[in-house]
Structure 1
Amino acid sequence: MPYPVVQWAEIAQKYQRGTILLGNGASIAVSRSFGYGSLLDHAQHKGLLEGDVGRLFEFFETTDFELILRLVWQASNVNKSLAIADERTHQAYVRVRDCLIQAVRNVHPEHHQITEHLPQMYEYLKGFDTVLSLNYDLLVYWTVMYGLGVQDGHLFKDCFINGEFDDDWGRFRKLFREKVNTLVFYPHGSLALCRNNVEQEFKIHSAGGSLLEAILDEWRGERFVPLFVSEGTMKQKIASIQNSYYLSTVYREVLTSTRLTLTLFGWGLGEHDRHLLKRMRGTGIQRVAVSVFRGDQPYCNMAYQVIQDDLGPVEVEFFDSESPGCWIHPAE
């Protein structure tokens, strides 16, 4: 018996002020450039990985650009601090960094290319009290920035103050000048997040100009490396999460906080990401809404079983990812 796939408007009220988790399908809906298999696949397809760079990915048995970049950056800094002559390590770092920069520039749209979608993305996301974005891209960040110019009493908060994460994140739930707010978290990091050589973590700002270029310039300056988990198995991703104060705080505290409803949009529920769903078991979830692209019944079957396995016996509803009022689609 096929699962019914309803319009978002039919169930939206039941999920208001709940948690939404955004997967790569949300980014692809905004720009087809995000439809690549992985940043590493894209780099390989474009012939960006050669010599030492390719060997590093093979040796560490990973597809995570951020991990390789951080490892080589740390090795280069250790050699530099001990006055060890080792130009090859630094050159390997430069090549990995430049490969990542080129891959990101090739696939990530500029702000002006997605501006038309920001008002609807803002309207959709502000209906939730918590946004969890699994995507490393800047779409949610740009949506938050767009919201600063909308005078409607709503405020998005990412719990960063002057570029640094405040781990007392629960206090941001309290209303200040706003009438209602939404907390935003990046369980797998973001292009806008970085760390320095003593593992301090920051959010990158841009005082005018292109935020994307400002981020890439910071990487080129060799003062920071990016903080996002781009690829890898579930075990590798958890290890990367535990290596970051911000990511581990989100994993330990935010994901395990109390919630009654959960909306999943554009998420494939792949095995490598199910650790996130399992962290939310026992948090009080009673009902889950799952977006479906064009009535994909095999996906419905898989998603229903995964949710029951990982969250326990909860109600599951499916809605059309392209329905009015949903994500980038204007309400009727």
Structure 2
Amino acid sequence: MNRLFRFFGTSDFELILRLVWQASNVNKSLEIPDHRTYQAYVNVRECLIQAVRSVHPEYDQVSGRLPSMYQFLKGFDTAISLNYDLLVYWTMTYGFNVQDGHLFKDCFLGNGGFDDAWQRFREPYREQTNTLVFYPHGNLALCRNVVEQELKIHNAGAGLLEAILQAWRSERVVPLFVSEGTMQQKVSSIQNSYYLATVYREVLTSQRFALTLFGWGLGEHDRHLLKRMRGTGIQRVAVSVFRGDQVYCNYAYQVIQDDLGPVHVDFFDSESPGCWIHAMPPAPPGLGQFRL
């Protein structure tokens, strides 16, 4: 299997899996016996599944945090998730049962397909407020079928992760995410996906005044996303910091100035009440009716 990665000069599991899957499907359609290609596909697929199982939390491990995660994310009009995991997806589905007038929308329709007229989802339909969610590097829940249609795997709650892994094993789809590589390699992979390219070309370049970066290390291999937002009207950037890491603060400030231009940067504690998994403390009696 290592020969495949060396031959194509990449460490991107998703790319190699897609290449051997397509080759195996071509051989199958032409009735060409080729056990080695098919076995290579199975080996790469099973390695990926094992990797996901070993690092991804189960739904029950995070379900108690979902109320806090929901309250945090609903404060933004757009959420751009750079992680491949299902935490944001689970947060969205948790919100379906919260009757507060807010709705998360990822612009994928009931049939699993992406609606590229994504701007129309900004307009409230039955909700009062909404948050649009995008995955610029893909996600475990996104996949491609044999004719390159890009789809989202639907399943709420605890069954989602298993539904995704079963879909991969069905041999009908392969995952859609950009897992590894340099900045140039990632941009190239993005351009090979209609959904990812739309997010990169349109969503990241949409106008905004403020930007919040939470839990992002701003690594060199991901700075293409920040560079893409230059010139979009951003004037203020809030950056989360883990336990006062001054080295990271200095680095992040310089990266933001280089990639976005002379914008105002504020840093905040990533463990502050109300941030992601850190719940807001209950209001003192008699003070819970008003919020400034």
Please confirm whether the aligned pair reaches a TM-score higher than 0.5, indicating the same fold: yes
Counterparts of residues 179-198 of structure 1 (less than 5 Å) = 179-198=128-147
CA displacement 1:166-212 (0-9 Å, x = unmatched): 00000000011111000000000000000011100110012776110
Task: Give the aligned partner of residue 82 of structure 1.
Answer: 30
1:250 aligns with 2:183: no
Which of 267, 274, 295 is equivalent to 2:223?
Answer: 274
Structure 1 residues 207 and 151: alpha-carbon distance in aligned structure 2, compared to 1, 3 A threshold: closer
Structure with the larger RCO, 1 or 2 (CA within 8 Å, 6+ apart):
1
Over aligned residue pairs, what C-alpha RMSD do you find? 1.0
Structure 1 residues 171 and 211: alpha-carbon distance in aligned structure 2, compared to 1, 3 A threshold: same
Give the distance between the partners of 1:137 and 1:63, measured in 2 at CA: 19
1:210 partner amino acid: G
SS for the counterpart of 1:134 is: coil
Task: Give the aligned partner of residue 73 of structure 1.
Answer: 21
SS for the counterpart of 1:74 is: helix
CA displacement 1:274-318 (0-9 Å, x = unmatched): 000000000000000000001011111110010000000100000
Task: Give the aligned partner of residue 100 of structure 1.
Answer: 48
Per the TM alignment, residue 141 of structure 1 is displaced from its structure 2 partner at its CA by 0.1
Task: Give the aligned partner of residue 13 of structure 1.
Answer: none
Give the distance between the partners of 2:250 and 2:93, measured in 1 at CA: 37
> Gapped runs of 5+ residues in structure 2?
282-292
Per the TM alignment, residue 86 of structure 1 is displaced from its structure 2 partner at its CA by 1.2
Contact persistence 2:238–2:267 (CA under 8 A): yes
Contact persistence 2:90–2:156 (CA under 8 A): no
Give the distance between the partners of 2:11 and 2:211, measured in 1 at CA: 30
Give the distance between the partners of 1:245 and 1:310, measured in 2 at CA: 25
1:327 aligns with 2:276: yes
Give the distance between the partners of 2:48 and 2:214, measured in 1 at CA: 27
Which of 232, 235, 239 is equivalent to 2:188?
Answer: 239
Task: Give the aligned partner of residue 169 of structure 1.
Answer: 118
TM-score between both structures, scaled by the size of structure 2: 0.94
Which of 155, 162, 168 is equivalent to 1:213?
Answer: 162
Give the distance between the partners of 2:99 and 2:278, measured in 1 at CA: 22
Q: Relative to structure 2, which stretch is displaced further, 241-250 or 57-66?
A: 57-66
Structure 1 residues 182 and 209: alpha-carbon distance in aligned structure 2, compared to 1, 3 A threshold: closer
Counterparts of residues 5-24 of structure 1 (less than 5 Å) = none
Structure 1 residues 269 and 209: alpha-carbon distance in aligned structure 2, compared to 1, 3 A threshold: closer
Give the distance between the partners of 1:62 and 1:179, measured in 2 at CA: 45
> Gapped runs of 5+ residues in structure 1?
1-52
Per the TM alignment, residue 58 of structure 1 is displaced from its structure 2 partner at its CA by 1.9
Task: Give the aligned partner of residue 236 of structure 2.
Answer: 287
Task: Give the aligned partner of residue 288 of structure 2.
Answer: none
1:112 aligns with 2:112: no
Give the distance between the partners of 1:248 and 1:151, measured in 2 at CA: 34
Structure 1 residues 320 and 209: alpha-carbon distance in aligned structure 2, compared to 1, 3 A threshold: closer
Task: Give the aligned partner of residue 58 of structure 1.
Answer: 6
1:144 aligns with 2:92: yes
Task: Give the aligned partner of residue 49 of structure 1.
Answer: none
2:42 partner amino acid: V
TM-score between both structures, scaled by the size of structure 1: 0.83
Q: Which runs of 4+ in 1 moved over 4 A?
A: none
Per the TM alignment, residue 325 of structure 1 is displaced from its structure 2 partner at its CA by 1.1
1:158 aligns with 2:93: no
CA displacement 1:122-167 (0-9 Å, x = unmatched): 0000000000000000000000000000000000000011111000
Per the TM alignment, residue 82 of structure 1 is displaced from its structure 2 partner at its CA by 2.0
